[in-house]
Every structure is written in structure tokens, then in C-alpha cells.
Amino acid sequence: MRRLCMLTAFAVVVSVAPAAAQVLAGAAEEPAPPFVVKSIEGQTLRLVQLRGRPVIVDFWATWCVPCRASLPDLNAMQERFGSRGLVVVGLSVDDGDAQQVRRFAKRMNLRFPVAMADERVMDLYGPIRSIPTTFFINRSGLVVRRVVGYVDTETLQEYVQEILP
């Protein structure tokens, strides 16, 4: 994780501006790698349980400034589009224990599932080299977009609209 921290220090500086986000999208949609993680509440969360629903998987950390800036927008997307099936999943890459992340999530009033990302999940989706890194998964379970860096509210909503139909 230390390597992620060093690389992220650069990403924090670069990612503050919306134009800095690196968007990887294209015709080659790939199946989202399946994962099983423990939520910060101790429940098992499996991606396969969300099949048929549009999903946002966001890798973030409590100490990451652009990550903290994007969490309210992810919350808003969950609130606004949850009735249409959208599920936001936050995967924390914090080195600390789940207690620390749980306290942070409570302070931020996060209303979507939060879990700790382990090395296996980071390898499946990555490698994750900087955060935030956000994946947009359609109802068929295909990753249609991967974004590295901060995404402004309007762009985030546009990407959500792509996976809702």
C-alpha cells in the first residue's frame, strides 16, 4: 500500500482538476471481476449478488483529498438513482482497520456499502495505482468505463446514465 500512497501523492495534485481524470472506455467491454469482501459492518458483500443492477465500484481512501471530494457526489448518485437499481460500492484501500474507515464513513454519512479492499481485489481490478479509481458496471456485469482521478458531478451523472438503461 505504501507504493500506492507515493503514487497517489502525485495523483492528488493532478486529480483535483476535473480535466485531469483519465477515462478508459471503449468498445471492448469486459466482465467485471468477481469479488467477495467484508463490509465495514462485518457483512459479506459479493459482486455476483448485484448482477442485473448497474454498479459503481470506487477505490478510495480516507486520507485522499480527491476521494473525499467525490464521496458526496457518489452519495448523491446512490440517493438519486438507487430506486432505478444503482448500487455504489466503496472499496477503501486504507492501511488501517475497518473501525477507522467505519468512523470516517459515519462522519461522511455514506449511504452506500463500504468495504476494505484487499490486495486480491486491487489486483483483479488493476493494478490500482492511484485513487480514486472508479469502475462503471452495466446491468450485464460488464465494465463499460474506468476512471482514474476525480470526476466532477456532471460527468459522474453522465457516466451513471450510461449504465442505467
pLDDT in tens, the chain (165 residues): 433 443 343 333 333 333 345 555 544 689 999 999 999 999 999 999 999 999 999 999 999 999 999 999 999 999 999 999 999 999 999 998 899 999 999 999 999 999 999 999 999 999 898 999 999 999 999 999 999 999 999 999 999 999 998
In the CATH scheme, what is the code of domain 2-163? 3.40.30.10
Whole-number Cα distances in Å, 78 to 2, 96, 100: 31, 26, 23
Helix (H, G, I), strand (E, B) or coil at 144: strand
Specify whether the CB–CB gap between 91 and 57 falls below 8 A: yes
**Which pLDDT score is estimated for 29?**
86
Q: For residue 138, what pLDDT is reported?
A: 97
pLDDT score for 64: 97
Contacts of 86 (CB under 8 A, 6+ apart): 53, 54, 55, 56, 77, 78, 160, 163, 164
> Domain-by-domain residue ranges, the chain?
2-163
User: What integer pLDDT is reported at residue 28 of this predicted model?
Assistant: 62
How high is the pLDDT of residue 12? 36
pLDDT of residue 120: 94
Instruction: Output phi, psi for 5, to 5 deg.
Output: -60, -45
Q: Is the peptide bond before 127 cis (omega within 30 degrees of 0)?
A: yes
Using alpha carbons, list the distances in angstroms from residue 141 to 26, 38, 127, 133, 162. Answer: 15, 20, 20, 18, 13
- Distance spanning both ends of the chain, measured CA to CA: 36
DSSP 65-117: HHHHHHHHHHHHHHHHHGGGT-EEEEEE--SS-HHHHHHHHHHTT--S-EEE-
